[in-house]
Amino acid sequence: MTAIFILATALPFFIASRVVLSGRGASPVPQDRERFEALVLGTGGLSAILHVLLFSGYLSIPAVAATGAVGAVLAWRGRRGSARSMAAPAPPGGADTPGHGRIDGLTGWLSTCAVAAVCGVWFVWSAASREVSGTDAAHYHIPHAVNYALGASPWGPMPTPHGYPMGAGVFFAWFILPFGDAFIVDASMVLWYAVLVVALASLFCTLTGLPG
């Protein structure tokens, strides 16, 4: 089961790298930028899979692995289609088609809505859990993650009266599943440190033109 857990964790990042490469097109993109986009997309993809399965009541290692496998197949098929379209001659004026502008505008609008929604949820929950006495880990970090790992639904009663941001709690639960305890739960934080590192490298490359 540990091997399946590792595979299920890695699949979203494989899918993200395929998506980033397929969307690159003919224009050169710095490797630091590619790493940043792939890591952010992979982390977000894994988080999305975990959240969807958790809220639907199917959070388990086999379910996450199966969902990632389906995504990998779709990414592979999309990569093949992209390669065929790149091999075909581009129509005149294809670089600045109206469709590209609409897609950029749509993704920007969706990103803004997502950030606003996350911030709104945080504000609502922080108002309900502003008084946390003692260590925060004992009050709302681990209890929620343990509940999720044991199969509890986020729609049900909370284990503590303190609300907890869902992102890290679900990642904690995912890293509890392989061994049934908190043996490697802190390893989930490595993803966020990695995102920070590649973000700084990408920013450095953008500002200086040098590899990060």
- pLDDT greater than 70 at residue 102: no
- pLDDT greater than 60 at residue 12: yes
User: 180: alpha, beta or left, given left = phi > 0 and alpha = psi -120 to 50?
Assistant: left
Of 1-5, 48-52, 114-118, 158-162, which range is least confident?
Answer: 158-162
Tokens 């043996």 label which residue? Answer: 183
C-alpha triplet 119, 12, 194: angle, nearest 5°: 65
Measuring CA to CA, which residue among 36, 37, 38, 58 is closest to residue 49?
A: 58
Confidence of residue 63 (pLDDT cuts 50, 70, 90): very high
- pLDDT greater than 60 at residue 135: no
Helices assigned H by DSSP within 23-165? 31-56, 61-87, 98-128, 136, 142-149
CA distance 53 to 171: 12
Across the range 9-18, mean pLDDT stands at: 88
Residues in the chain: 212
Indicate the helix (H) or strand (E) that contains 211: none
Confidence of residue 126 (pLDDT cuts 50, 70, 90): low
Q: How far is CA 196 from CA 65, 106, 111, 184, 202, in A?
A: 26, 26, 19, 21, 10
Residues 6+ apart with CB under 8 A from 62: 4
What per-residue string of b and e applies to 26-53 under the rule 16 or more CB within 10 Å gives b? eeeebebbbbbbbbbbbbebbbebbeeb
pLDDT, tens digit, 9 for 90 and up, residues 64-91: 999 989 888 887 776 655 555 544 454 4
Structure tokens at 179: 């061994």
| Parent domain of 161 | 2-85+106-208
Q: How far is CA 182 from CA 23, 66, 70, 77, in A?
A: 38, 24, 29, 37
- Looking at the structure of the chain, the number of domains it has is 1
Instruction: Specify if 58 maps to a domain.
Output: yes
Confidence of residue 4 (pLDDT cuts 50, 70, 90): very high
Across the range 27-36, mean pLDDT stands at: 78
pLDDT, tens digit, 9 for 90 and up, residues 184-205: 887 888 888 888 888 888 888 8
Instruction: Specify if 99 maps to a domain.
Output: no
Across the range 119-139, mean pLDDT stands at: 60
What is the DSSP secondary structure assignment for residue 162, as one 8-state letter? S
Q: What percent of the chain has pLDDT over 90?
A: 10
